[in-house]
Structure 1
Amino acid sequence: METFKNIGVIGRMGSVKVVETLRRLKTYLIENDYQVVLEADTASMLPGHGLQVASKKLIGEICDLAIVVGGDGSLLGAVRDLAKSSIPILGVNRGRLGFLTDISPDELETRLNAVLEGDYIQERRFMLDTEIKRNGEPTGFGTALNDVVLHPGRSTRMIGFDLYIEGQFVYSQRSDGLIVSTPTGSTAYALSGGGPIMHPKLDAIVLVPMFPHTLSSRPIVVDGNSEIKLIIDEANESWPQVSCDGQKELSCGPGDAISIAKRPFRLNLIHPSDHNFYATCREKLGWASTIAAS
């Protein structure tokens, strides 16, 4: 396996626990002769660090590995700037759930030592691009690792829209919106909406209706290469929004077309070698862990 020498470090702002872990991480990397590059905002949390500082985009160009300290949301925010470079990304969990940031601060040095010496597994996760057009002209663009969500915004009105998959009409729906999720996002918002859990290796997209007016509306799983299009009903009285990973909001209006498709660039996610998706589900989702005797 590839080993790493030049390491970019990105931390979540505004957390004392993140700063504490960043200090430990910096000390470990420097003592073990790694070249460390701090992301610009992260550097402001470590005054007097004496290290090279760069933007996320530049870290993607000059480093062998990016380490993100924070929660899953911190990693989601970082990948949009890093995905084009295909730099491997490793997460240290300082958030709540930690499906993506799976190294615990309690075992930081031990786990990190193994990964940096080449003892790790690598996953290629795909992302989604979304584009909004009004009268054929683009008005907004976003990228998501977890999900693209059509929702009412501040309005309490239902949204009327038509769904097309690969150019084929699927249905007209009135609901609170639609969650379009990757396998990575299937354990996030889509799960709370009643969607299925999908293994990260699947090349599939799930569409989860949000409180549909018709009770027969159920989640649909489609091929990962499908092009999905939503057309907002011309008679829609509200101006809904499209959210990318819950972090970027795009406005849309009656008659707008929302296109969603797989992004050409994949995220290169690094895990410790004993990472197990089902074990993570057991831990994070509270599944029973007793193995029955045969």
Structure 2
Amino acid sequence: MKPFETVGIIGRLGSELVLHSVSVLQQLLLSRQLKVLVDDEISQHLDHSAMQVASRKQIGEQCDLVVVIGGDGSLLGVARAMARHDIPILGINRGKLGFLTDIHPDEIEEKVGEVLDGHYQVEQRFLLAVNVYRGGDLIASGSALNDVVINSGRSARMINFDLYMGDAYVYSQDSDGLIVSTPTGSTAYALSGGGPIMHPGLDAIAIVPMFPHTLSARPTVVNGNTEIKVVIGDCHPYISCDGQVHLNTAPGDEVKISKKSEQLTLLHPQDHDFYAACRDKLGWSERLSD
């Protein structure tokens, strides 16, 4: 990967801690004589004298690295917007878990400096595309880095649907919903639904039923190139993409979910370890005290 010359900064709004980290990062980048573009949504809260303000579209078109400061949710939104531009993304954690935004704020100068010097790990993460068809016509679409969730929405009630893998019928189900997760999303909502933890390097998709009205339904893992089709029954469920983009459906709609052609290039510090992150974030290896 070529040296970074133009770096975009995108931060989560509404946090003084994020603004502080943006300032620290900005000074580091400017000290290295790099061109810095700051997202226009957060720039209004910063000193304008030492930065160039840009829209996310401009950041996608002009930058060769984007640094996201916030939580994993912040990075999810940026990933969906930037995947089409094929720009690597680096995350600084000002959220909670930090599976995607894995640089600690106190280590910005050290860890980001290492990345700028060319010392980093590169991961390719695929996204899911979801398309909703009604009577054969495409009526809505979205994309997700973590998961596509079909659920009843605000009301606590079951929905019903038929599930297909490609052309193969799998089952009909009454449940609270269905989670279709990438390996990236396997440590997110799918995990709380009893789904498997998948290594980010896997080319696989997990299908996790949400409170199914049967004792035999279990999570299923399929090849990443599988097209998943859900035919909506007598209900009006919602579709959620990463918990941030929402689509409506009606009885008889066909929901098709498949891997997108664009991928996210995610950068990590050189010492990043997925299993160490699991131990830290999920409490693996903790022992009960006496």
The corresponding residue for 2:190 is: 190
The corresponding residue for 2:136 is: 136
2:243 corresponds to 1:246: yes
Q: 2 CA distance for matches of 1:214 and 1:50?
A: 60
TM-score for both structures, normalised by structure 2 = 0.97
The corresponding residue for 2:19 is: 19
Q: 2 CA distance for matches of 1:121 and 1:60?
A: 21
Identity of aligned residues (%): 56
The corresponding residue for 2:8 is: 8
Describe the superposition over 1:259-281 as per-residue Cα deviations: whole angstroms up to 9, x where unpaired. 00000000000000111100000
Q: 1 CA distance for matches of 2:148 and 2:89?
A: 22
The corresponding residue for 2:113 is: 113
1:1-294 matches, cutoff 5 A: 1-233=1-233, 236=234, 238-288=235-285
Aligned AA (1:279): A
TM-score for both structures, normalised by structure 1 = 0.95
Task: Report how far residue 29 of structure 1 moved.
Answer: 1.1
Describe the superposition over 1:113-164 as per-residue Cα deviations: whole angstroms up to 9, x where unpaired. 1010000010000000001111111221110000000000022221100000
Q: 2 CA distance for matches of 1:82 and 1:285?
A: 28
Aligned AA (2:266): L
Q: 2 CA distance for matches of 1:15 and 1:39?
A: 15
8 Å contact kept, 1:158–1:176 = yes
8 Å contact kept, 1:72–1:100 = yes
Q: 1 CA distance for matches of 2:157 and 2:137?
A: 26
Aligned AA (1:34): L
Closer, same or farther in 2 for the Cα pair 1:246/1:49, shift >3 Å? farther
- Secondary structure at 1:263 match in 2: strand
Closer, same or farther in 2 for the Cα pair 1:160/1:246, shift >3 Å? same
8 Å contact kept, 1:10–1:68 = yes
Q: 1 CA distance for matches of 2:186 and 2:78?
A: 19
Q: Return 40-49 or 163-172, whichever deviates more.
A: 40-49
Q: 1 CA distance for matches of 2:148 and 2:49?
A: 38
Q: 2 CA distance for matches of 1:86 and 1:63?
A: 10
- Secondary structure at 1:53 match in 2: strand
Q: 2 CA distance for matches of 1:246 and 1:87?
A: 23
Aligned AA (2:111): R
- Secondary structure at 1:125 match in 2: strand
8 Å contact kept, 1:43–1:49 = no
Structure 1: which 5+ runs fail to align? none
Structure 2: which 5+ runs fail to align? none
In the comparison of the two structures, how many residue pairs are matched? 287
- Secondary structure at 2:131 match in 1: strand
Describe the superposition over 1:36-81 as per-residue Cα deviations: whole angstroms up to 9, x where unpaired. 0111112122142442222222212211100000000000011111
Q: 2 CA distance for matches of 1:220 and 1:148?
A: 15
- Secondary structure at 1:87 match in 2: coil
Q: 2 CA distance for matches of 1:266 and 1:176?
A: 30
8 Å contact kept, 1:160–1:232 = yes
Task: Report how far residue 228 of structure 1 moved.
Answer: 0.3
Task: Report how far residue 186 of structure 1 moved.
Answer: 0.2
- Secondary structure at 1:278 match in 2: helix
Task: Report how far residue 289 of structure 1 moved.
Answer: 6.4
Task: Report how far residue 255 of structure 1 moved.
Answer: 0.8
- Secondary structure at 2:268 match in 1: strand
Aligned AA (1:35): K
Q: 1 CA distance for matches of 2:105 and 2:219?
A: 36
- Secondary structure at 2:48 match in 1: coil
Aligned AA (1:159): I
Describe the superposition over 1:203-237 as per-residue Cα deviations: whole angstroms up to 9, x where unpaired. 0000000000011000000000000000011xx2x
Q: 2 CA distance for matches of 1:174 and 1:289?
A: 37
